[in-house]
Chains A and B, each alone.
Chain A
């Protein structure tokens, strides 16, 4: 492989991105061992730590099992049930991904004030996480060749037997991959468990940081959480990497419309049972908050201000993330050898970092290393970039992989150097993918809570912090306009973009 100047510049930038991603790990190492190994071990082997682990794992397992059932059912509805308007259903089923977990948690609480703790967290997380199972499983389902089912039918199998003997065995890997993702997200989610006051890792870490101001305990618990998250991430990549072999041959025939009335009935009733709690309750609650009689006038100017801040924050985060993620993805796709893989692996580790851990690490790094930036805008961006790098790298990678390497070879042979080729060939072809990456990151940054909460500059209010602050006071009438703005500006576009990219992949 050639080593031109442009090449080395890209590799250098990729390593800068990798170093930024590793800041939280560095902090955790330093902080958890700051008083030596013994305090770290003492903190680790306490009864309260053990019961914390049990509570967190129980929640993760319950959420995962429930999500697998709901997610697989939803995939069946949108790929195999033969219902019309499948595209609309796909959007509806992916909407929960776009609704921030703290927002649906507050919706449930305002509707059923008694709900809290394990049950509340379980309900909210399950209905928020099942799309992580649905997305890989529905992709695999639509790749299953209907011919297999027809052959099974000619051999005298019933519909149900076909599902059990032919379809489900082909879905083992995508279901497992989705389940691991759900487990990862339910372990690292902050918003839902915080709203439900359920004492699992993220909420306790936040408490140790905020109330107790016990950095060593926060760091020690973070290390445990990170270890679990890394194990799940590793297992997920392992399974996903092997699942490609399971897809069937090139000529997959399109599925005809199924006229089976019993299947349609099950699909319709089941979809309602899923969509009402997952989408209906949050959306209806927000509308109801808006119409609540309120003694004071809504401060529309501050709603506007918060939306503006959220958007500005989102755009800056997305652009900075793109600039750092591009070299990482480019090296991973176009270079060979260990050097090219290191940055991508490094950023992928952060995929397992719960937002609250990133937030606390960046706070401490801010206080110690870049004091002038503490509680300033750049540090907030810094924290968010760490969180969104892995997703951005993955989406740019996918876009770059669609640009055949031979096109770059041809451009080189026609006299373009590395950088010129990047500007004239690679980026223009990957542009739709890059724009989608920017849009998705921007919307995700608007919804993000823990990092914004801890790192926002004094006086800065975004939609997410406003919703958090007012909901904590149960002032839902005040939350209404902010929540509505969040749904309209972030959640719906996220769901649309997600559904579009899924349907494009399936074509």
Chain B
């Protein structure tokens, strides 16, 4: 039983603040040694879910088990300090009155024992800061502070590490480097992690699995590739990556859809009838207006140059505006007319 159980399991967890429902029947299962991203818009219930798992809040309904042991259900409630979970929060997470090594040793049983000292040293090496043991948290940069916070969280060998938007207080350049370092540290330590973020890039790049939490429900739980390529709802599609949506009609064969851009192959077969088509910016191709494949042409409204690539807004006669992503060399002139093609399989959702 113990060996086959997952690191964390949530069954039908719901939570209310007064009359306001924050979580609605959440089911989630996290495997040992995996990194799961909990992705969702602000106010979607991510932080509440994390606080419930940590034990700072008691769920209104539902069951939570860690390593197969129930820590919260209608009758049982294990307080946070007995759950064997550690957390890494946004910022200011280090105890300001303790040195770096005292911070890391905080959760250890015998803090002054040789074993504890060895563990602290091991953790400092793991996070790549072997020389900062005696420094004060205020002497460290924001990124270093977060690595120490991670070392402190891992020192107790927790069943689960919760990361609550760990980099949202850092600037963009630093965030990306640190993200890779943290993933490497978690993998090296063999830790199981639940990583809360509102940043799609972060979720897709770090996680083995992505759970999309929208309006208190798990809207999708899958691997990152499927989350992007094969979202289960239009909301998920719109939240993970950019997308244009417009109406179309699924043809009688059920494998292609008739749109203003001509007939396009569907990613998932669907019964014939009206549908909403979702197309990502990189699926559009802009061609000359006299290209025989171009069914429609539109006027270039805006181009945005990002260096390597760029985006173009194209408006059609009926007012629909689409955004296409292209290599920056291919950006057309503003005001010119272009033909628009769709060159890969697309998603659609029945209306």
Q: Which residues of A contact B (CB under 8 A)?
A: 1-2, 4, 404, 406-407, 409-417, 420, 424-425, 428-429, 431
Contacts and interface: CB of A to CB of B under 8 A. Distances in A.
Contacts of B93: 406-407, 410
24 contacts: A1-B58, A2-B58, A2-B77, A406-B89, A407-B93, A409-B80, A410-B95, A410-B152, A412-B55, A412-B79, A412-B81, A413-B54, A413-B85, A413-B86, A413-B87, A413-B153, A413-B162, A414-B86, A414-B107, A415-B81, A415-B107, A416-B106, A429-B96, A431-B97
A435 B93 CA distance: 24
Interface string B73-96: 000010111110111011011011
A358 to B, nearest CB: 37
Q: Of residues A412, A424, A428, which shows the largest number of chain B Cβ atoms within 10 Å of its Cβ? A: A412
Q: Of residues B58, B87, B153, which shows the largest number of chain A Cβ atoms within 10 Å of its Cβ? A: B87
B56 interface: yes
Interface in B296-324: none
A417 B81 contact: yes
Contacts of A431: 97
Given A414-B86, A415-B156, A409 B81 contact: no
B56 A409 contact: yes
Contact of B95 (A2, A415, A420, A425): A425
Contacts of A429: 95-97
A409 B89 contact: yes
B46 to A, nearest CB: 15
B55 A2 contact: yes
B233 to A, nearest CB: 33
Contacts of B80: 2, 409, 412-413
Contacts of A4: 79
Chain B binding surface, main DSSP class: loop
A138 to B, nearest CB: 28
Q: Which 3 A-B pairs have the closest CB atoms?
A: A414-B107, A412-B80, A428-B97
Size bracket, chain B contacts: 20 to 34
A350 B55 CA distance: 37
A2 B56 CA distance: 7
Nearest to A405: B56
Q: Of residues B81, B107, B152, which shows the largest number of chain A Cβ atoms within 10 Å of its Cβ? A: B81
A474 to B, nearest CB: 53
Contacts of B57: 1
Nearest to B92: A404
Contacts of A406: 89-90, 92-93
A414 B92 contact: no
Contact of A410 (B83, B89, B97): B89
Interface in B149-199: 149, 152-153, 156, 162
A1 to B, nearest CB: 8
B106 A411 contact: yes
Contacts of A404: 92
Contacts of A417: 79, 81
Q: Of residues B80, B85, B95, which shows the largest number of chain A Cβ atoms within 10 Å of its Cβ? A: B80
A186 to B, nearest CB: 41
Nearest to A421: B81
A409 B58 contact: no
Q: Of residues A410, A428, A431, which shows the largest number of chain B Cβ atoms within 10 Å of its Cβ? A: A410
Contact of A2 (B79, B87, B90): B79
B151 to A, nearest CB: 12
B16 to A, nearest CB: 14
Contact of A409 (B54, B77, B96, B106): B54
Contacts of B96: 429
Given A2-B55, A407-B95, A429-B96, A416 B81 contact: yes
A334 B156 CA distance: 26
Q: Of residues A409, A413, A429, which shows the largest number of chain B Cβ atoms within 10 Å of its Cβ? A: A413
